[in-house]
Amino acid sequence: MAAAPKRPFRWHIVVFLAPAVLVYTAIMILPLAGTLQLSLFRNIDQAQVFVGFENFRRLFGDPNWSVGFWNALRNNVWFFIIHMLVQNPIGVLLAALLSSPRLRFSAFYRTAIFVPTILSFVIVGFAWKLILSPLWGVAPNLMDLVGLKSLFTPWLGKEQYALTTLSLISVWQFVGIPMMLIYAALLSIPEEVIEAAECDGITGMSQFWKIKLPLILPSIGIISILTFVGNFNAFDLIYTAQGALAGPNYSTDILGTFLYRAFFGFQLQIGDPNMGAAIATMMFLIILGGVCVYLFLVQTRLRRYQF
């Protein structure tokens, strides 16, 4: 279709685009740029003064800040690793089982397993805090049923277990998302491909590993990047379960809670918007880095398998 020469200006395009672009730019893009900019300023005598990378030098050079930052980053990486190692394999397993043909009650399983995902962090954090509490005794009682009561400890209160426990709670909450996306990917595999595999005698487990898994790799890539972005800007669960101090002894501190304390201050620490902006900038760079790795490496390599 050739475009007509000399068309009048199409105002309706502007009208259609304007509200979304204006709100999005004013509330999201400009503040994001503003936050990045603020990280280069300091508040000296009630005025914002340009100080270059001074805030970052403080964040990495001053032990008061750098210890907390590296601790939060390390915890955040561990948080992400647990998600990748536990959430995605469970999600793939459940999706593979759900997608087997003529499985009865699959709608029920799907609906039930997705329930935790729709609940808020506040509910999830508190409910698990109660269940794992040694005061109430649900968890020790349950472990007693299988004869493992001696293994029970207050996991959320111990430095060495708290972060892993919280990661697993978060996995429990979000396993529905990889399950659904992979389930969708498995359903979209053409019938002919499966039939061809069966004609060649590839069935059961080997069919899953050799035929289906390569075909759902793009979905696994998407899930990984969604998990990455979600984990590196997580906040609510830790805040609800352990408070802004991310106890015990900062062992569950991640970048989100670190940013919150730096920005708002907590107890003796005074809030500092410029340092908050510097931390937000670091989080931005980390997330941007992850997204770029995904787009340039994973996406281009995996696209070959797509239909």
Single out the residue of 43, 66, 160, 188 in contact with another protein (rule: CB under 8 A).
Answer: 188
Residue 134's contacts (CB-CB under 8 Å, 6 or more residues apart) are 140, 152, 154
Q: Is position 47 an interface residue for another protein (rule: CB under 8 A)?
A: no
**Residue 61 CB, nearest approach to another protein (Å):** 21
Q: Of 52, 61, 137, 214, which one interacts with another protein (CB under 8 A)? A: 137
Site string for another protein, 241-260 (x = CB under 8 A): ---------------x--x-
How many residues lie near another protein (CB under 8 A)? 93
Question: Phi/psi of residue 269, each to 5°?
Answer: -80, 135
CB of 84 to another protein, least distance (A): 18
For the chain, give percent helix, strand, coil, nearest 5.
75, 5, 20
Q: Which of residues 100-119 bind another protein (CB under 8 A)?
A: 100-103, 105, 108-116, 118-119
User: With 0-12 CB in 10 A as exposed, 13-18 as middle and 19+ as buried, what is 64?
Assistant: exposed
Burial class (CB in 10 A: 0-12, 13-18, 19+), 61: exposed
How many angstroms separate the CA atoms of 37 and 203, rounded?
57
Exactly one of 180, 211, 246, 254 binds another protein (CB under 8 A); which one?
A: 180
Interface residue with another protein among 154, 247, 248, 273 (CB under 8 A) is 273
178 near another protein, rule: CB under 8 A? no
How far is residue 107's CA from residue 261's CA, in Å, rounded to a whole number? 43
Residue placing its CB nearer to another protein in the complex, 114 or 161: 114
CA distance 82 to 165: 10
> To the nearest whole angstrom, how small is the minimum distance from the Cβ of residue 232 to another protein?
9
